Structure 1
Amino acid sequence: MKRTINWIAAALVALGLTFTSQVVSAEDAKVETVVSGLSNPCGLAVQPTTGTVFIADSAAGRVVRVVDGKLEDVIVGYPKDIYGKGPKYDIGPLGLVFLDQNTLVVGDGGFVDGEEFVRVFTVPAPGGKALDFDKDVKAKLGPLAATDDVKPEGNLYGLAATANAIYVTCNGDDTKGWVSKIDIDGTKFGPLTRSIATKEQVEVDAPVGVTISPRGEVVIGQMGEINKPHDGLVTFYSAKTGKSILNLEAGLYDITGIAYSPKGLLYATDFAWMAPTEAGLFRLDQSEVDGKQTIKPVKIASLDKPTAIAFGKDGEMYITVIGPTEEGSQAGTKGSLVKIAPGL
């Protein structure tokens, strides 16, 4: 393939998609288990300054942090709902993002659509008393109720933040596949509002993974249909207008997490509902097929049902993994937090 850097290719480089020809196999990345015994972990955030890892231990109805290699409750009491179609999974709290060292934002997943909130907490110091998910909330934003034009929305799966806004992927039953938004003005929060109707723009369901590009675009990993292979998309949206800037086929099944490494490279986790043996962590490289710009997914590691990605303060990558599930089980305790050393 001749790699001609045209204006689209240049944009891809700026957006974090590389021209690397490096081939990385699953055996090249050493995956280390940090903690195990989690129940359908679905969200992940690294605390600024301290580097402490926080996890949405979703089916356990709690948010935890890792202290000296052990799990410590931070927020407890979340109810559970069921997500998915064969297999099904119990879920509670979902997306996590820090706004500053002590302000943690959590997306609901344990209620019915139209009754879920984005909740803001001031986290206690390590060893402090765990917070109640509802009684100790600092701000409660939402829900996305039904209107004359749209269904109620829920499953607030992915969260990403800039200095001025929080972006939330909503993976409920609405046909438009919303990314919702909360404006931030200092310490004040605006309402949770529908912002980007992803399916209307890309014609694929289920926005799940979300991050912010180095230039400030909102980057969405579109999961697509769980019974359709390789329909995952990566789409860059203008934070100002909500319009699609660049939409690329990713060649993945079901993108659940997406994040930039300290080197500015873009990575994604693929849950691969219909082909679990193909699930894992992928680097997303720029490619060209028949003159069309696309993505070449390069597999870095095989993982069993990965759900979220976050980079630590020293450049290490953390990933939550649901792990093996028994037939008919909706909430196992075989989930884990794994780590890959700095350098990606």
Structure 2
Amino acid sequence: MLSATVLPAQDAKKPNAQMGPRPVAQNLDNPSGIAVHGETGHIFVAEHRGVLRLFKQEEKKGYSRKMQVARYPSDVYGKGPMYDIGPLGVALLGTDHLVVGDGSRPDGEELVRVYEIAVEAPEKPTPEKKAAFTLGPITAGDASAKGEGNYYGVAVTKDAIFATANGDDTKGWIVRAKLNNGKPGKLEPFIATKEAVSVDAPCAITVNAAGDLVVGQMGEISVPGDSLVCVYDPSTGKLKKSYETGLSDIVGLAYSPNGKLYAVDFSWIDTSKGALYELTMDGDKCSARKIVDLDKPTSLAFDTNGTLLVTVFGTAEEGSDKKPGKVLRIGKGMLK
């Protein structure tokens, strides 16, 4: 294994009220994945009930919302705190297809589905089963003792769809479906990350400027500070680099338009320590600079203006019947 050392996390500067995170969408039920359309700027959010589509209102500030994909089953995830989950990860395939990683079924039954999307938000949502392409399931067998599921992170390159999976914990699979003329092939286990780095649970996944897969290895949720960031060749699956980060549970990774890498740490063992970080790799070392504390952050993406959007589970207000999940906007000024 190619390993690297970690530098201590630096504390965040206290943001002023004008710079602090602002809600773009509220009343969300455990949002866990986010993707932004590069042409329309529409925001796709996976949450317990389905996939939402957020788009700017024409006559006033703020965003409207429509359900893009609905009618998912429901499952539960967690140790200690337990959370209702449905679809988990989302990514765009070209301009007219949305890839959705499933978490709503038992391991061995979960799927990665690809849906056609129009330029405008739909009047009625697409039923979950009415996908253009259904990938999987990966059932129990030689490659996976229990079968695969909880496709938390999704990334798309010109050659393939990749998803992180949390089925067989002894393997820690990243799964892959190759693309042929834009159409996905069979979903198959590709990289056994646990065997490569001896740390559990790949969750976050993105692609760097060189085209490599950059993966957040969450680690054990009961162990603080064990998360890794690993770099893999997308063609061969070979581990190119592994960095210790000092963070506890990296569940989201994204590159800014100027090439900086950001991560969100859910911090299962102490969710009061959830936060957004800037990660900097220098040779064999990784340093983590805290940007802002967040209430159970789960995913992140940059919009077409270079503004960072982060999903959070949040904490329910006492006496409120609203769901605590949000999409937060974090301005460029906070990231400096």
Give TM-score, length-normalised by structure 2: 0.89
Matches within 5 A, 1:265-344: 265-286=260-281, 293-325=284-316, 333-342=323-332, 344=335
Matches within 5 A, 1:207-222: 207-222=202-217
What CA distance in whole angstroms lies between the structure 2 residues aligned with 1:64 and 1:149?
A: 33
Q: What code does the residue aligned with 2:54 have?
A: V
List gaps (5 residues or longer) in structure 2.
Answer: 58-62
Q: What code does the residue aligned with 1:44 have?
A: I
- What is the deviation of 1:30? 2.1
What CA distance in whole angstroms lies between the structure 2 residues aligned with 1:179 and 1:27?
A: 37
Q: Secondary structure at the match of 2:196?
A: helix
2:38 maps to which of 48, 62, 66 = 48
Partner of 2:60: none
1:326/1:244 Cα in 2 relative to 1: closer, same or farther (>3 Å)?
farther
What CA distance in whole angstroms lies between the structure 2 residues aligned with 1:163 and 1:156?
A: 20
C-alpha RMSD of the superposition? 2.4
Aligned: 1:253 with 2:248: yes
For residues 182-206 of structure 1, give each alpha carbon's deviation from its aligned partner in whole angstroms, at most 9, with x where no partner exists.
1011132110010000000100000
- Asked if the contact 1:250/1:297 (under 8 Å) is kept, the reply is yes
Q: What code does the residue aligned with 1:153 have?
A: E
Partner of 2:139: 145
Aligned: 1:32 with 2:17: no
What CA distance in whole angstroms lies between the structure 2 residues aligned with 1:256 and 1:51?
A: 23
Q: What code does the residue aligned with 1:220 have?
A: V
- What is the deviation of 1:70? 2.7
What CA distance in whole angstroms lies between the structure 2 residues aligned with 1:306 and 1:137?
A: 28
Q: What code does the residue aligned with 1:162 have?
A: T
- What is the deviation of 1:174? 3.4
Q: What code does the residue aligned with 2:178 have?
A: D
- Asked if the contact 2:98/2:114 (under 8 Å) is kept, the reply is yes
Aligned: 1:110 with 2:104: yes
1:74/1:251 Cα in 2 relative to 1: closer, same or farther (>3 Å)?
same
Name the stretch that deviates more: 311-320 or 334-343. Answer: 334-343
- Report the number of matched residues: 319
Q: What code does the residue aligned with 2:201 have?
A: A
- What is the deviation of 1:26? 4.6
Name the % identity. 43
1:201/1:100 Cα in 2 relative to 1: closer, same or farther (>3 Å)?
same
What CA distance in whole angstroms lies between the structure 1 residues aligned with 2:316 and 2:269?
A: 14
Q: Secondary structure at the match of 1:41?
A: coil
Q: What code does the residue aligned with 2:53 have?
A: R
What CA distance in whole angstroms lies between the structure 1 residues aligned with 2:182 and 2:93?
A: 10
What CA distance in whole angstroms lies between the structure 2 residues aligned with 1:110 and 1:127?
A: 23
- What is the deviation of 1:276? 1.4
- Asked if the contact 2:77/2:85 (under 8 Å) is kept, the reply is yes
- What is the deviation of 1:286? 3.0
What CA distance in whole angstroms lies between the structure 1 residues aligned with 2:167 and 2:302?
A: 27
Partner of 1:182: 177
Matches within 5 A, 1:67-78: 67=55, 68=57, 69-78=63-72
For residues 10-65 of structure 1, give each alpha carbon's deviation from its aligned partner in whole angstroms, at most 9, with x where no partner exists.
xx9xxxx9x9x9975252752111110000001101012001111002x22x1011
1:316/1:150 Cα in 2 relative to 1: closer, same or farther (>3 Å)?
same
Q: What code does the residue aligned with 2:43 have?
A: V
What CA distance in whole angstroms lies between the structure 1 residues aligned with 2:44 and 2:54?
A: 7
Matches within 5 A, 1:197-212: 197-212=192-207
Q: What code does the residue aligned with 1:63 have?
A: V
- What is the deviation of 1:148? 3.0
Aligned: 1:171 with 2:163: no
1:118/1:260 Cα in 2 relative to 1: closer, same or farther (>3 Å)?
same
- What is the deviation of 1:216? 0.8
Partner of 1:240: 235
Give TM-score, length-normalised by structure 1: 0.87
Matches within 5 A, 1:5-16: none
1:267/1:26 Cα in 2 relative to 1: closer, same or farther (>3 Å)?
farther
